[in-house]
Chain A
Amino acid sequence: MAATADTIFDQHLTARAFSLTSAFWFAFATSIGMVAAGYLIAPDFMANIPYLQFGRIRPIHVNLVLFGFVTPGLLAAAHYYVPRLLRTDLFSQKLGLMSVILWNVAVVSAVVSLSTGHSQGREYAELIWPVDMLVIVSFALVVLNLLMTVRRRKEPVLYVSIWYACAAVILTALTFSLGNVIWRPDTGALLGIPDAILLWFYGHNVFGLLLTPLTLGLAYYVIPIVTRNPLYSHTLSLIGFWSLLVVYTHIGTHHLLQVPVPTWLKVVATVDSVAMVIPVMVFLINIWYTAKGKLGEIHADIAGKFIFTGTIFYFFVSIQGSIMALPQVQRITHFNNWVIAHSHLGVLGFAGLSALGGLYYILPKITGKPLYSRFLADLQYWLVLIGIVGFTVVLTIAGLVQGNSWFAGETLYRTLPEIHSYYVVRLSIGLFIALAAYIGLYNVIRTIYFNPGEEA
């Protein structure tokens, strides 16, 4: 069968649906982020609209960027490269489409339940039990589809991207169930300090076992193709994969260094947060050596550009993370905007940029037509880049102001006027990111549905 645009279209139903999901929720989530940021400047502006109150929309923003934007974006790419690397088709497009639909039902339910005050009050695990179930079933469908695809493979050797994609969805399905304490539907929580330990084991592994492996898998796939270089070292990918699983999973307690949890746990978390440089640098050396001498190619390819920039942010956020896990440093950085800077650097700068790169890589392949507008994609790249660097600078400064003032004995009320102007700048910079998200949504929709471009 000749690969006309139509058959390509049908072949990639799932990837296409995940792409649209990601692009849509990116726009929605940043809009919510703008409202949240607005609250911190003018709390009376939208006073007494319960479902827009800061405490309710903050978890919506966070859940949406994690499970609406970044994860679906990375999954879209995975549903393209996994079959491709295995020289087969996706096990079932119908199953895939079902997983996307259910996924979106879960995300919509999350928005509705959180905005109406149905929350379990545990950061990153606030969704109520029925929504948890939806998420788990969606994950299970994705796992099933990918594993069955692996079973039907015509390529005997599994490339590193496959390991990462499979491990990410399987392990996250497990940690999600565990972290949300699904055997206790009413509260979704343990009692006392162990609840905090479990929560941060899970919360940390949203980044460590979901976003990071999916992103690394994508980079391992795209960077060698874009640079037309073979992967620098398969040994390094092995070391990177297993060390990531061993080290990243057990350091969640670095979120609890100033809380009465057992000291040995804190010691382990701190020491091995520093040891995170091993999986991080192993990956980066591998990818950066693969790209060696080919920066021109990367610059010329929009997907390569996004993803390579993501790896640079991976370097920064991880080194920063290792430093932030030191108790001496956390005396200043904990509890304030420093951490918010780190979060955006990681989730947007590293995983988010890479997810966008993934979309731009697969879109031409899954529609059979070139990207609707390379210019808009470039524009989006620069807007997000300016946004994320701006966020990092401004929020880090605000965090230092807060942390140092408190450490010097100033009360919190006195630091509110001190950080006000940084909050204003943050909101303004947020405009860049929100604009970028809408531009991306437009570009994705035009590429898929109203693309005047010639068939490739």
Chain B
Amino acid sequence: MSQKMTPTAVVLGSVTILAAVVFVVVFWPYQQADYTPSEIFRYRTEAEAAGRKIYIANGCVYCHSQSIRAIDWGHGATRIAQAGDYVQDRPILLGSQRTGVDLSQEGGEHPDDWHIAHFINPRYTRPNSIMPPFEYLGMEKIELLTAYVQSLGMKAADKRMARQRFWKEESIRAYEAGIDENVRWLAEIVPQGWRDIPNPYAASEYSLARGRMIYQAFCIGCHGPVGDGMGDAQPWIYPPPLNFTILKGREISGGIIYYQLMNGITGTAMPYFKKDLESEKLWDVGNYIAAYFINEVDSNGPPRGIDAAYEP
């Protein structure tokens, strides 16, 4: 039978098979492709398109996917990807590894200053990050990259960005009006119910130890090792990270801290942590800040609920 495998048979046979396969699994889907834009679709601006080129040149695609799956819960998992999201993408940047987070809904997650600090060095805003620093790009390119990242999610991102811009102005106004006004404003954005609650967990040794671990893994780059807001990210962030030591005697309850940690402070670089940290961990880091930096702990005070089973 091997005698029939003449050079012609091998070459023509294999090329024919390849052609047939290409026709069915490449050309046909290409012909049938539906380029109807999805409901969030919009075209990129020139700056955003330039940022995308920088994204490609620096291989962000090897660590970041841009495609949310039906089974995802994490970052950006508010919307499952649709074919109509990609109709201006040449090349498409789906990615095949999630060494970093999915970025398809990144736009408006954070304000621009957070991204700039993060690109200068990701450890500034995310102490445990393993993303490479991109300071070498220079400020101009980092800004273009930021414009691109803020456009991810298209119309959905634009909505979030509008929110970021509105609250950015508010937070700057409060910050520039001085410490008293800023602290008042920060407390005022927290609903009254939360402001009245003390930290329900005792500031035990155990709670503080956990709080310290969390502080070092999540907060230290901005608020700094001694809580004075002088972390490495500080030069790039405005309003700058809060100096906790000014909060003493200003009636900052455990509830205020908890609420700000949970939801973040939109418009400022202060991120939300409700997806990263479970409730008790947020209370623990609240205890830690209160005990070590503010020097004023309201934990487990009245009105008290039931004691936690494990507390001594």
Contacts and interface: CB of A to CB of B under 8 A. Distances in A.
Interface of A: 39-41, 43-44, 47-50, 53-56, 58-59, 117-123, 147, 150-151, 156-160, 162-163, 166-167, 170-171, 174-175, 178, 187-199, 201, 209, 234-235, 237-238, 242, 245-246, 249-250, 252-253, 255-256, 258-262, 265, 268, 331, 335-336, 339-340, 402, 406-407, 409-414, 416-417
Interface of B: 1-3, 5-7, 10-11, 13-15, 17-18, 21-22, 24-26, 29-30, 32-33, 35, 55-63, 65, 67, 69-75, 81-83, 86-94, 96-101, 121-123, 126, 128-137, 217, 275-276
A58 B275 contact: no
Contact of B132 (A47, A249, A255, A406): A47
Nearest to B122: A43
B6 to A, nearest CB: 7
A189 B90 contact: yes
A194 B29 contact: yes
Nearest to B276: A411
A307 to B, nearest CB: 22
Contact of A160 (B2, B126, B130, B136): B2
Contacts of B62: 54-55, 58-59, 123
A202 B84 CA distance: 23
A339 B83 contact: no
Q: Which of B7, B25, B32, B122 has the largest count of A CB atoms less than 10 A from its CB?
A: B25
B69 A157 contact: no
Interface of A is mostly: helix
Given A47-B132, A167-B10, A192-B88, 14 more contacts: A43-B129, A49-B136, A53-B59, A171-B15, A190-B90, A190-B91, A192-B86, A195-B89, A196-B94, A197-B30, A245-B17, A265-B29, A331-B71, A402-B98
Given A43-B131, A167-B14, A407-B71, A118 B57 contact: yes
Contacts of A39: 130, 132
Contacts, number: 234
A455 B101 CA distance: 59
Contacts of B63: 54-55
A166 B10 contact: yes
A58 to B, nearest CB: 5
A335 B99 CA distance: 8
Contacts of A249: 17-18, 21
A313 to B, nearest CB: 22
Nearest to A159: B2
A166 to B, nearest CB: 6
A191 B35 contact: yes
Contacts of A250: 21, 24-25
B17 A192 contact: no
Given A193-B86, A409-B73, A416 B2 contact: no
15 contacts: A43-B133, A55-B60, A55-B63, A158-B2, A192-B35, A193-B29, A193-B83, A197-B26, A245-B14, A258-B69, A260-B82, A331-B71, A407-B71, A414-B276, A417-B128
Given A40-B99, A175-B18, A119 B59 contact: yes
A242 B5 CA distance: 11
A157 B3 CA distance: 6
Given A120-B91, A191-B35, A238-B5, A335 B96 contact: yes
Contacts of A413: 101, 126, 128-129, 276
